[in-house]
Each structure stands twice: as C-alpha cells, then as structure tokens.
Chain A
Amino acid sequence: MTEKRIPHTDLDGLLGRLRERGAVYAPARDDAGDVALTQAPLDDPMVLEYRNFRLSPKAFFLPQSQTLLTFCDGEAHEPSLPDGETFLVGVRPCDAKALLALDKVFLDGDPPDPYYARLRETTTVIALACTRPMSSCFCTSVGGGPGDGAGADVLAVGLEADLLLRAQTPKGEELLSSVADLLADATDDAVKEAEKRVGAAESLIAPVEVDNSAQRLRDGYDSPCWETASQTCLGCGTCSFLCPTCHCFDITDELRGTRGRRVRTWDCCAYPLFTLHGSGHNPRPSPKERWRQRIMHKFRYAVENLDRLFCVGCGRCIRNCPASMDLRTVLRELGA
C-alpha cells in the first residue's frame, strides 16, 4: 500500500494531470454557495473545506436516467458504453463505501450489470477524509468512519500543509505511480498527523446502536413503531434519491415514430405505485409497510442476502426529509 504526500499548492497540478487523462470532477462552490462535485475549469482552485455534497456520487455509476437499449424500426440495440476515464476527487468516505454496497448488487450479482460495471471500471475515486462531521453523520456506527478508505481507489487526508494520499486498490496504486513526480514520500509525522485528525473527527460522531440489526429487525417486524413512525411520511422520494446506496430502479420504454429507447430511472419504495399490481392489489398498501421496507432493506434484508448494511451513515435522508423523519429514531426504538 503506497503512501504519499502532496502539498496543497500542488493540487491544481495534480488535477491538471488527471484532466489530461479524462473528465475530472472536484469540489467547487456553486452559485447558491453549496459545494458540489463539479467539472470545474482549470483555474478554479479545489475547495477542501466542505462537509458533504447534497447529491451522493451514485449518479456517476447508476445515472438517474440511463438508456439500456435503443430501438430503431422495431429492432433493439445496445447503446455503446462509455470508454473515457472519469476521476471523482473529494468524495467523502461514506459515499465511497456505498460503492461497495452497490457492487454487491451490480457487480457480484448474477448476472453482473454491464452498464454499472463499465462506469465503475472507467471511474477512479479519490476520497477525502472528513475532519468536521455533521450532527446527522453516523458512519462509525455502520462500519465506516471519517478516515475509512474502503470503496475508494485513493484516500486523501488533509493535513496542515499537505494531503496524505493512500492507495486503496490497484487502480489507486497505478494512479499514484503515474503522478509520482508530483508526490513526496509520506513521513511518519504526516501519518501521525493524519491519524490524529481522523481520530478527532471520529470522536465528534454520536453512535447509533445497529449491532445485530438483522436479528432485531426480524423481532421488530410487527412493532407498532412502524405505524407511528410512518404517519408523517409524505411518500416522496427524497430519502431514496439522495441516498448513496438506494438503487431501486424503474424501466420504461419511450417511442417516437420508429425510434425509441428503453430507459432505466431511479425509483423509490416509498411510492405507492412501486409495488402496485395490475389487478389493483398492493402488497405494501400504506406508508407503514413502505417505510418499514426501506429500513428493513437497509438494515436486515441486505444483511441477510449480501452480508452488508445498505446504509453508510451519511445522514442525507435525515437532513433532507421534508417531514424531518429520522431513521435513527426507529432504529433506537427497536433497539436495532
């Protein structure tokens, strides 16, 4: 595992080198003042101070609308897959970790998903450790942490004057060696400083008890808390669409004259139509069953099927729910 250092002042040089290879998305401030992953022009310095992006980077791997097939005169064709490289710089550790969850479904699943596989293959993720977690963060309770590099190809930790860069995957190793001339060796002091910074961030995160959640949710399936907790659910898709691990999708056809496409679009288990049968029967008829499904999927079904929690503790669903629902509340109530 290679560990390197790059002074903040050389970061633009690094981004420039990546730009020679492909599309680079790095944190930049938008008009409204929010920091978002942006394909910024060269002269914008990379923003290093931000909490997390409003949108998770999942759309880079599972685009919200993606053409699966095109139709021409009644014949179906595969769209050509992208082959250019993409670099995502500054992804937060929780969001990088979410890729491991998506991998379970789209890469390890039988059959693998060719569209996801290609985007995953052509995209390199450089994560940036968090120093200032939010009150909605709970990554440390779900197997992650502000300095966790799992799911990323390179993990960067911001130090006083440098970034410490740690290769996490062969792709990350290759990347670091390709820009080796810009990098210095990591010193013991740098490694220690990184540890200290990550430790400090960790200590700010309030734990949520999710150990053994699968068993506890099995026991809590009929709990009255689902009814009370879901009363306020408006049935919108904010939580799912912002969530870095939610991956349910719809497939619909579009046709104009003799040309058309089959497109997959994000979908959400909170929508009543999600499970409605042709007969009018709905296996999950009310917000109670639908909200329970969301929690069960993340904290029980995914554990039972794929041996992984489908929540990385990013807190987006908590911050953005228009009714201010908080999944930590039901997890606590169920002791899950």
Chain B
Amino acid sequence: MARNPYLPYPARIDEVIVENEARDIKTFRLVFEDPKSAVEFDHLPGQFAELSLPGMGEAPFGIASSPTETDYLLFTIKRVGLFTTEIHSVEAGTAIGVRGPMGRPFPWDTMAGKNLLIIGGGFAFTTLRAAIKYILDPANRSRFGSILVIYGARTPGELMYKDELTEWQARDGIDVHLTVDHADEHWTQHEGVVTSLLGALKPSADNTLVLVCGPPIMIRFTLVSLATLGFSEDAIILSLEMRMKCGIGKCGRCNIGSKYVCKDGPVFTYQELRTLPTEY
C-alpha cells in the first residue's frame, strides 16, 4: 500500500547552526532514523518539505541541502511564529518528522546548457544554496555554463552560510558577489540593495536563466532591473511562499488562481506568474 502522505519520516536533528547576528535564523541538519527513508526521500533543489515536532505543529520549509549531500538534509529556518519558535528552542538530538519532498523543483532540464544568474535576498537564500551546491558538484558542474551569484542581506551579520560564501568566492567555476544594505566598518564588498549590485554587474541575458528568491519587495525591483537588462519573462524563475498545511494539493490553502503553490509550485517562471491573479 502507498505510504500515508500525512505520516512523516522519522528523523533526528543532528546539528543546529545559528546563521545570523540577530540569532533568529538557524540551520538544522537532519538525519533520517531509517536509511530507507533517505532513499525514498528523493529530492531536487527547489523542492520543500513539511517539518513537524510531534504535538507542536508542522510547517513547510525549502530544502537547503542538495541531493548530492547524501548523508543529511539541511533546513534554514527563521523564527516567526508558533512552530518556528518551537523548533528554535530544541537542541541537537531532538526527534523531528519530515514529509516530502514536495512541489516542483527548479527546472533542471531547461537549465542544462545555460548560464545561470542566481539572485537571493535575506533568508530566502535557502533553496538557492541547495541549487549552488548541486551545480558545483563535480558530477553536475559541466552541465551548466557560467554561474553568477548575487546575494544580499540587510547587514553583514545577516548573511547566511558565511563559510561557504567565502569558499565559493575563493574557488573557480562560480562568481559570487555579495552586498549589504548597511555596511559596517569591516565590510569591503558592495554596499546597497541587490538591484544596485545587479545594475553594476550588468550580466548578459544571452543564453541565461535567472533564479530569484527573496522578500517580495526585492523581487519586485529585481524584476524591473532584469527587464531592463533584456531578460525575457520565461527566463526568470521564482519561488513563491503561501500559507500551507497539507502540502499535497488537498487543504485548499495555498492556491493562486487555479495553481496550487504546493503542487504546481513553489517554483514558477515569471511568465507563468504573469498569467495568475496577483493574490500572493
């Protein structure tokens, strides 16, 4: 019989990493209790999962690790409400439930052979991290052209995955540019919003697809800049967030027009989004 879609895979929190100065964003490293679950949980960057603490609730989070990181799953979670506060209070060793993977990943088939421009803002960088790790895996890197990453946060202390950012900036095969809205005395890189860095770098739209994840306001301005740079609507790939419960197209909570973000998304091209009502 098919697995009950409401029954989570049992997993354990292996490690908790504080990501930012405000200490309201943490990355959780999860290991499945049963190695078989890890095999069944077959995901691609861009997908999400429902995490739950028994009796404390359940909520959807983008998968921040790449399937090439085979021993664990990563989720980066900002503390905002009931469940997120609860999970922020637990320590390594805590049991946790994982349902998924859910949703449509980034369009990896279309992305093959293309240059990629990856634009992230704030804590929405999670699935973009998964994408970058996936692309940089030796088995995958040759499938893609040049990789340009632009990542911004409000302050240097709010940038996540700092060690990896440093590592990526140092290595070949990827070009990573960082920016912060408000620099401090140690900051030597770009200062200003993401779009100002985008304007300065002027990436070419030629044979290039863009992945954009960030707060709504950043997305709005980024779309304008991308249009100016000549990117077409079907070359821009976005990931949406809606309130979700079931994650499997039944509870009726996450629709935008006739699309269910949990099933038909969360990844959409800008062209697809343009055909939907603006209720997001």
User: Hey, which bits of chain A sit against chain B, CB under 8 A?
Assistant: 68-69, 71, 74-76, 78, 105-106, 109-114, 221, 247-255, 260-262, 264, 267, 269, 274-279, 281, 283-284, 289, 293, 296-297, 300-301, 304-305
Not counting A76-B54, A279-B80, a sample of 12 additional A-B residue pairs whose C-beta atoms are within 8 angstroms of each other reads A68-B6, A76-B7, A109-B250, A114-B2, A249-B245, A249-B252, A252-B57, A253-B58, A262-B6, A275-B242, A278-B84, A305-B258
Among A255, A276, A300, chain B packs the most CB atoms within 10 A around the CB of A255
Q: Are A71 and B54 in contact, CB atoms less than 8 angstroms apart?
A: yes
Chain B residues in 8 Å Cβ range of A71? 54-55
Known: A71-B55, A253-B58, A301-B258. A275 touches B243 (CB 8 A): yes
Chain B residues in 8 Å Cβ range of A76? 7-8, 10, 52, 54, 97
Q: List 29 A-B contacts (CB under 8 A).
A: A69-B6, A74-B95, A75-B10, A76-B7, A76-B52, A76-B54, A78-B7, A105-B249, A105-B250, A109-B249, A114-B4, A247-B252, A248-B252, A248-B253, A249-B250, A249-B251, A250-B245, A252-B57, A253-B52, A262-B58, A264-B251, A267-B252, A267-B253, A269-B252, A277-B242, A281-B216, A283-B280, A284-B279, A300-B258
Q: Are B6 and A289 in contact, CB atoms less than 8 angstroms apart?
A: no
Q: Does B107 contact A (CB under 8 A)?
A: no
Q: Does B255 contact A (CB under 8 A)?
A: yes
Q: Are A267 and B251 in contact, CB atoms less than 8 angstroms apart?
A: yes
Q: Report the Cα distance A281→B81, complex, angstroms.
A: 13
Chain B residues in 8 Å Cβ range of A114? 2, 4-6
Partner of B243, one of A111, A247, A253, A274: A274
Chain A residues in 8 Å Cβ range of B241? 277
7 closest A-B pairs by beta carbon, nearest first, are A255-B55, A248-B252, A260-B55, A278-B80, A301-B258, A71-B54, A304-B258
* Chain B, range 75-97, C-beta contacts under 8 Å to A: 80-81, 84, 95, 97
Q: Report the Cα distance A297→B95, complex, angstroms.
A: 38
Chain B residues in 8 Å Cβ range of A221? 277
Chain B interface size band reads: 35 or more
* Chain B, range 259-280, C-beta contacts under 8 Å to A: 277, 279-280
Chain A residues in 8 Å Cβ range of B243? 274-277
Chain A residues in 8 Å Cβ range of B113? none
Q: Report the Cα distance A153→B6, complex, angstroms.
A: 29
Q: Report the Cα distance A304→B246, complex, angstroms.
A: 21
Q: Are A275 and B7 in contact, CB atoms less than 8 angstroms apart?
A: no
Q: Are B4 and A297 in contact, CB atoms less than 8 angstroms apart?
A: no
Chain A residues in 8 Å Cβ range of B218? none
B48-63 contact mask (Cβ, 8 Å, vs A): 1 or 0: 0000101111100000
Q: Report the Cα distance A78→B57, complex, angstroms.
A: 16
Q: Report the Cα distance A110→B241, complex, angstroms.
A: 21
Q: Does B248 contact A (CB under 8 A)?
A: yes
Q: Report the Cα distance A284→B4, complex, angstroms.
A: 31
Known: A68-B6, A71-B54, A74-B95. A251 touches B251 (CB 8 A): yes
Q: Does B203 contact A (CB under 8 A)?
A: no
Partner of B253, one of A112, A253, A274: A274
Among B2, B10, B251, chain A packs the most CB atoms within 10 A around the CB of B251
Chain B residues in 8 Å Cβ range of A69? 6-7
Q: Does B35 contact A (CB under 8 A)?
A: no
